[in-house]
Structure 1
Amino acid sequence: MTTFPGLDYVQTNNHQQRSLQNQELNLTVDDYSLLTDLYQLTMAACYTGEGIEQQPASFELSVRRLPEGFGYLIAMGLAQALEYLAKFRFSLSQIAALQGTGIFTQANDRFWSLLAQGQFTGDVWAVPEGTAVFANQPLLRVEAPLWQAQLVETYLLNTINYQTLIATKAARLRDVAGEQATLLEFGTRRAFSPQASLWAARAALAGGLDSTSNVLAALQLGYLPSGTMAHALVMALSAIEGSEDQAFSAFHRHFPGAPLLIDTYDTIAAAQRLADKVNSGEMKLTGVRLDSGDLVTLSKQVRSLLPNVPIFASGDLDEWEIARLKAAEADIDGYGLGTRLVTGSPVNGVYKLVEIDGIPVMKQSSGKMTYPGRKQIFRSFTGSTVKADRLGLVSESPLEEQPLLQLVMKGGKQVQPVENLIAIRQRTAASVASLPQETRRLDNPVTVTVEISEGLRELTEETKKQTAKDAFAKRLSATRCANEEKDAK
């Protein structure tokens, strides 16, 4: 058996399964190229075998339908997508690993040369991060040689789908809670992976939250991490030092004035004792956190005892729960958002071929139809409010409209400077504020009208007719061949 550097072999069900030795499954930049679905590689190998791998192709990333209860999405994840494309490479050890699978034994030798020498050389058009978008609109378009545009699909969907979900939920949370509320991202322990926790923190901050408890994400993004304490500290110090009050005092000796978690035992009793110390000048307190119980009743009672101390609430909160708390006049100044922020209804983005070698193409599957050709989103306003979007072809001109897709990468090189989160956060806030109220509401939101341009309608019909014509020609050719073979016999 041929061996390759960095591989081990496991015999399972009479098949040789080979894997790169990294049982920890940690991800580095060098792994980007292999973080893909197998069929991306097999399709690229097929393209190469057929001699069409360098044909110019255009793929667009869009969402067929919004998650239930959503009236809009906030586009996010572009920065990580562009970083991925700029660093896209295959190492010799990765190529050896692919060869060692035995899956590619019929692949053309040019396929391996392509991987060894290749990098992303295409163009990318995208809506800026923080922009509100709707169903069937391209958030991003990749224009590149076919093999490149195909191989990058999985990673682009991974980062844009997830960050768009988090940014949208964060924007909705900010919209419901209001500008004065403090919103903290606490979702690291519930995110789907360590990598996802970093992306969730970034998207949450860009979507409108104030801070994150994720220390690595905060420091990498230039923020101060935030947090209070867990029940474990209160229970441990209470047991060893004698009381909950001593636990609070011990924590304040090391972190003076820090917010305290007060619902480990008796929330109101703890608030009363803290109020006595605050009123006597014995203690300074910057906040208390409630993590359980009837938050409406408890927040009002705590406020009566600690009128000048900010009250934070946490515990499986989301935009609907915050709306309920506000409607019930809960006295809460800030919220910690975790599980329901970083999980929930997925954004089901798709990445579809729309043009190959200048030929418009479309998917015609029932319920999954796509529009052909390279497209642009044209947005119109009534004053500062979004009136409608028009989905048209890139060859069309705006009609007193704002084109949303911008050129962000040319020939594999970024053409715009990397935006900081403050700018993206401001764009998110402005985008949400520009939407009609019926689009922003939580109950039965009405999405903005997306009109299909006349040019795109005509191209769609022409493409359908051409597809039907080609299919008929192929059937006719097959029938003739069959008849000729029959006559020959």
Structure 2
Amino acid sequence: MAVPSGSPCPVMEQHLRDRAPPLLTDLYQFTMAYAYWRAGRHRDTARFELFFRDNPFRGGFTVFAGLHDCLVFLRNFRFTHEDVEFLRSVLPPATDPAFFQYLRDLDCSTVELHAVPDGTVVFARVPLMEVTGPLAVVQLLETGLLCLVNYASLVCTNAARFRLAAGPRRKLLEMGLRRAQGPDGGLTASRYTYIGGFDLTSNVRAGFLFGIPVTGTMAHSYITSFTSLEEVQPHTLMPQNGDSEPVDLIALAKSWLSRISELLEANPRKIHEGELAAFLSYAIAYPTNFLPVIDSYSVSCSGLVNFCAVALALFDLGYKPLGIRLDSGDLCRQSVHVRRVFRLCSERFSVPAFDSLLIVATNNINEQSMTELNEKENEIDSLGVGTHLVTCTEQPSLGCVYKLVEVRGNPRMKICEDPEKSTVPGSKAVYRLTDAEGHPFLDLVCLAAESPPEAGVSRSCYPLSGKDSMITVTPAQVTCLRQEVFVNGQIITPLSSAAETRAKVQTSLQTLHPGHKRLHQPDAYTVALSERLHNLVSEFQRGGSGDGRCVFVN
């Protein structure tokens, strides 16, 4: 079978297939499927919707992510002989053996999926995915689809918020693999934080699988492993043009160290020789990628002085170092001091490029501290974020749900004592209404059989948070939010790369009104039901249903 345009390379395809096999689900999905099968209802056409009830992080928006993986999951959904034999061992002994043959022959060739495109900004209560097919099959898909969408959308949204907090200028580095919830959590985080707006990752495996730019230089352990200049081997470095003999970089750096110490009035006794040795050793190994961490001992008394000496030696040989990393203390204050020294060196030693060296900051950065950076004077060019990004410290779960809305063409509704947990019945279409300035202002959920809203034409609707109060809206533009993406066992939409989906996220975010993008106390976005759909919901709540039967689930 041909792979659609834009689909992953074979290694990535195998990775996606392996991470979400059909057995990655809850046992009760199989017990329900068996009960459907025993009752002869397993082939009944059913429709489920996937949505979430609240935007995460007390924010005004969410980024929908994970559709790519869901499509690969559906395309490869098939039980192996080993899968079925394991199920035989865990289901009750009274389970009819013919059910296991039914599972062995199962696939998603009769499943259809309509979904919001990957990377779209979405809002609470909007049905993001509609899954249609035989009741037993689409029931078995529930846990897998939720697993693939929940964390991907959560961490992608978290990354988008970090990007908004950082502003467009700064580069953002994801470095959370060592703090992530296991290897798969780390890979998923690296992929979807990149899609959400980060520029780079430290995760080499993610770079290999998903084409994400990777970066990294050194940790404090490299610095502290050196104690003296005698440990630097080799001593020499070939000038970049290669036209002359190798130069003793230690001697050259020591001569610069004397001049820098005099310029900065540094105390020679506080300059750590082991740190200088580590810098020199790394510079000899990577003269075009020299970006050391300078706070292993003291930034002002040792690290910055040693860096400037080695960096100036590299400039003498035709190389341009990248910059420095700060990993502790007052990052803003230190960055200002570092930039001042860079400018001083640039002017005093006539090295213009010294002033533009990068200042990278890391140190348990969260969204709040990143926001505060913009309120303080600082010279930070790039920020590395780990724990608070990949673990989504402020909110550990998005809370997507997967609910039945129709069986055999008849609407179904869950009605709870908690109105927030009630569902909206029936097959639906979702439209995004945009104002004259191009900002979306309302998502309208209609019955699929209804005529769509039209640009320039007024439409009555009922906001989900409006306590049955009707409003009238007139959109300047209307977009159908969901698309048909999977039919007859085939993916019918091009699979986007991580970079393409990343661009989609930024484009979608740019359309939002600033009030909806505020990180704190954002304006609430309106999601509304059409008049016909609202009337259907009211009929259910009064005790009736579209097919003449009362359907309550408490």
State the TM-score bracket (shorter-chain normalisation): 0.7 to 0.9
Is it true that 1:463 corresponds to 2:534 in the alignment? no
Q: Hey, what does 2:304 align to over in structure 1?
A: 271
Q: Partner amino acid for 1:331?
A: E
Contact residue 17 and residue 73 of structure 2 kept, 8 A: no
* Residue number in structure 2 paired with 1:361: 412
How far is 1:86 from its partner?
A: 0.7
Residue 527 of structure 2: aligned partner: 450
SS at match of 1:260: coil
Name the TM-score, length of structure 2 as normaliser.
0.77
Q: Partner residue of 2:103?
A: 115
Tell me the CA shift for residue 374 of structure 1.
2.0
Compared CA separation, residues 331 and 361, structure 1 to 2 (3 A): same
Maintained 8 Å contact 2:17/2:72: no
The corresponding residue for 2:331 is: 295
Give the match for residue 77 of structure 2: 88
Distance 2:212 2:121 in 1: 25
Q: Which residue of 2 aligns with 1:335?
A: 383
- SS of 1:273's partner is helix
Residue in 2 that maps onto 1:256 = 287
Shift of 1:64: 1.0
Q: Does structure 1 residue 429 correspond to structure 2 residue 506?
A: yes
Shift of 1:30: 8.7
Unmatched segments (≥5 aa) in structure 1 = 1-25, 474-489
Aligned 8 A contact 2:322 2:358 in 1: yes
Q: For the Cα contact (< 8 Å) 2:333–2:377, is it kept in 1?
A: no
Could you tell me which residue of structure 2 aligns to residue 201 of structure 1?
190
Partners of 1:414 and 1:211 in 2: CA distance: 29
The answer to whether the Cα contact below 8 Å between 2:365 and 2:386 also exists between their aligned partners in 1 is yes
* Amino acid across the alignment from 1:390: L
- Confirm or deny that 1:325 pairs with 2:373: yes
Q: How far off is 1:472 after superposition?
A: 10
- Aligned counterparts of 2:148 and 2:182: Cα–Cα separation in 1: 13
Q: Percent identity?
A: 35
Q: Is the 8 A contact 2:63 2:153 kept in 1?
A: yes
- Aligned-residue Cα RMSD (Å) equals 2.2
**Structure 1 27/246 Cα, relative in aligned 2: closer, same or farther at 3 Å?**
same
Aligned mates of 1:52, 1:200 — CA distance in 2: 39
Could you say which residue in structure 2 is the equivalent of 1:105?
93
CA contact (8 A) 1:98 1:104 kept: no
Determine the C-alpha separation between the residues in 2 that align with 1:355 and 1:301: 64
After superposition, residues 104-253 of structure 1 pair within 5 angstroms as 104-121=92-109, 122-238=111-227, 241=231, 243-253=274-284
Q: Indicate conservation of the 8 Å contact 2:20/2:73, yes or no.
A: no
- Going from structure 1 to structure 2, the CA distance change for 1:234 and 1:463 (only over 3 Å counts) comes to same
Amino acid of the structure 2 residue aligned with 1:445: P
**Greater mean deviation of Cα atoms: 400-409 or 309-318:** 309-318
Matched, 1:379 2:432: yes
CA–CA separation in structure 2 for the residues paired with 1:165 and 1:97: 32
> What code does the residue aligned with 2:33 have?
A
> Following TM superposition, by how much is the alpha carbon of 1:235 offset from its aligned partner in structure 2, in angstroms?
1.0
Please say which structure displays the higher CA radius of gyration: 2
* CA-CA distance at 1:196 after TM superposition: 1.6
Quote the Cα distance in structure 1 between the aligned partners of 2:195 and 2:551.
51
For residue 390 of structure 1, the aligned residue among 444, 463, 488 is: 444
Task: Give the counterpart of 2:59 among 64, 67, 70.
Answer: 70
Tell me the distance in 2 between the aligned counterparts of 1:398 and 1:226.
48
Tell me the SS of whatever aligns to 1:196: helix
Residue 39 of structure 1: how far off its partner (Å): 0.8
TM-score, length-scaled by structure 1 = 0.87
Amino acid at match of 2:453: P
Counterpart residue type for residue 255 of structure 1: Y
Matched residue SS, 2:430: strand
TM-aligned CA deviation for residue 49 of structure 1: 0.8
Q: Distance in 2 between the 1:208 and 1:31 partners?
A: 25
How far 1:250 moved relative to its partner?
0.9
How far apart, in 2, do the equivalents of 1:276 and 1:197 lie? 37
Deviation at 1:31, TM superposition (A): 6.7
Deviations 1:256-303 (A, max 9, x none): 232211111111231133224434635732021111111111111111
Secondary structure, in 3 states, of the residue corresponding to 2:193?
helix
Structure-1 residue corresponding to 2:402: 351
Deviations 1:233-274 (A, max 9, x none): 111134783510110111122222322111111112311332
Shift of 1:110: 3.6
Amino acid at match of 1:149: V
Equivalent position of 1:11 in the other structure? none
For 1:348 and 1:248, the matched residues in 2 are separated by 47
Matched letter for residue 391 of structure 1: V
Deviates more, 1:277-286 or 1:163-172: 277-286
Contact 1:126 1:407 in 2 (8 A): yes
* TM-superposed deviation, 1:470: 4.4
Further displaced range: 162-171 or 26-35 = 26-35
- The residue matched to 1:141 in structure 2 has which SS? strand
The AA in structure 1 aligned to 2:380 is: I
Correspondence 1:34 to 2:23 = yes
Deviation track 1:197-245 (CA, whole Å, cap 9, x = no partner) reads: 1111111111111111111111211233111211111111347835101
